[in-house]
Amino acid sequence: MSASEDRRPLVDGRFHLISRLGSGGMGTVWRARDIALERDVALKEVRPPDPALEDANPGLAAQMRERAVREARALARLSNPHVVTIHHIVEPQDGSHPWIVMELVEGRSVYERLAEGPMSVEEALTLGRQVLSALRAAHSAGIQHRDVKPANVLLRPDGSAVLTDFGIAVISEATSRLTATGDLIGSPEFIAPERVRGEEGNPASDLWSLGMLLYVAVEGHHPLRRATSLATVVAVLDDPIPAPVRSGALTPVLAQLLVRDPASRPDAARLEQLLADAASGQSGTRAPAQATPGSFGSPYSHPAYAPQQQPAGQPWHTPTVPSHAPAHGSPAVGGGFGPPTLPVPPSASARPRRRAAVLAASLAVAAVVVVVGVVKLLPDGGSGSGAKGGTTPTNAGRTPGQETSGSGTGKGAGKQSSTAPAPTPGGTLLTTANVRTVIQAFREASGSTTMKELTIYEGYARASIPTRPGAKTYDAYEYRDGIARRTGPGGTIDADAADEQPFDAAAMPWDDLPALMKRGEKELKVERPTMRYVIVDRWTFNDDRPTLRFYLINEYSAVGYLAVDSNGKVVSTYPSS
């Protein structure tokens, strides 16, 4: 690895690392500049596993490397506007971890979009058809994605969808040896029931995941999310799915997709027709469809559940609309996701005795749920940087709504700050006073201003905050509309990685921010910037010291940044070329 003029490392002698877009337990994605072709790309760094993980799973490092190479080859075989494009793979001759060079998708993930509120039916239908197009291309090449979820779908600035992160995809002719016995691959909330049971090789499993993504997108909550990953897996195997209440013309499509028998689901061609019919209004009324006994959405999904067994006065089969969910067609306001809306179960005498079988299934997966994040090449967002754009969204493995569980070990876990909305001149948080308000709000919500990372956009902010002083785990927090709240577990802090150690965000030179931004607007040569934000973390290119970086990006992907240390001294300038 050579170095650029400002001594930042060059990958493969041509890729200049600019900023970290996201990271997880198995890798990091960087925004990088291809100096040979003068374009920005996303560079996925597949890091060696934690030594403890390697001890527990011998051969994991080699398995990761093979999966990374397989991902590159899988993507290279696809040509579809809704599949992320892979440009190149770097396999160092010294045997160190590979790098995957991919298209840089500017924009945000569906996960980030849903944090603003549910989608309209029309928006979800468009999303569904585009993701299905990507899946059909993959399936035709013998590739299954296996982890379709909101964080793995990016939205370009024009709103079109791009399916990313084929890191745990299966190529039909050469994969059985790559998955260790007992490994559960995929995110518990979106994995198909048959995959939980160990059945593989069926493209219909990806279609279940797509159906669940669309349910979450329109309804505003996940119908099978439970308090723990294990409980969620058991729910995926067994629990009835509440009928949609906002899905309108999409309801009959979901009814056919979200059935536990993969043979009963429509194939991709039929699903395309169903989505097209729904989009054109040919599927019938746009009002929410009524579920019938035995159909999707009804608790009577088992023969033992008969309509006459419903307890009088307990309309448990009719899910309620969360108070935060706007009516169909009305705009979403704020963070529209909350806890799942669960049906009230029937009386004990009416409940079928199936829990013994479910318990057996849960015991089978209990030991492997903890490795869900391990076997994925890059969990989508568990410890993301919070920067928008790039090919790996943040908040991996979770969908909006899981974030409000309120559980955690931190002093402020589950709490919201009571800080009043900060004044936002010009609609921006990027002023000294407003940044300090944001940090104070995070302190009230978490009990600390010590952070692993802080990212502040003009309209909202995110932080990674240790669960307690000295802890090696951290929680994710968000500040929006004057409120800071814990959005869920973040990830772990590598004790041996200097760039992951927490720092005091309040001690950074925020008084210098206006001057830094003014200088950046003048020197970074980003014409008509459309995005401004600040990232604070321990930066590799500043000897792992706490560093504040101000970024400018425009709609043509021109990017530049200025970096200052904790004393306010400019340590790096990266103007747009």
- Catalytic residue positions? 147
155 forms bridges with which residues in the sheet? 108, 161
Q: Which residues of 89-113 are buried (b: 16+ CB within 10 A; e: fewer)?
A: bbeeeeeebbbbbbbbbbbbbbbbb
Token code pair at residue 60:
């994991």
The half-sphere exposure of 228 on its side-chain side, counting CA atoms within 13 A, is 8
Question: Cα separation of 30 and 334, whole Å?
Answer: 29
Task: Say if CB 26 and CB 64 are below 8 A apart.
Answer: yes
CA distance 565 to 385: 18
- Residue 454 bridge partners (DSSP): 463, 536
Query: Which of 108, 158, 166, 121 is CA-nearest to residue 141?
Result: 166
Distance CA 396, CA 327 (A): 28
Give the type of residue at 23. Answer: S
Nearest to 229 by CA among 405, 366, 391: 366
DSSP element (H, E) containing 18:
strand 15-24
Q: Which of 414, 487, 407, 404 is nearest to 444 (CA)?
A: 414
Torsion angle defined by CA atoms of residues 326, 332, 336 and 341, in that order, rounded to the nearest 10 degrees: 20
Contact (CB, 8 A) for 82 and 76: no
Contacts with 531 (C-beta within 8 Å, 6 or more apart), sequence order: 388, 457, 458, 551, 552, 553, 554
Beta-carbon count within 10 A of 173 CB: 7
- Phi/psi at 444 (nearest 5 deg)? -65, -35
Residue 33 sits at the vertex; the CA angle it makes with 157 and 79, to the nearest 5 degrees, is 55
CA distance 544 to 565: 10
In this structure, the chain runs to a length of 577
Residues 6+ apart with CB under 8 A from 553: 106, 389, 526, 529, 530, 531, 559
List CB contacts of 296: < 8 A, sequence separation 6 or more.
241, 243, 254, 255, 256, 258, 259
- Residue 40 pairs with which residues in a beta bridge? 33
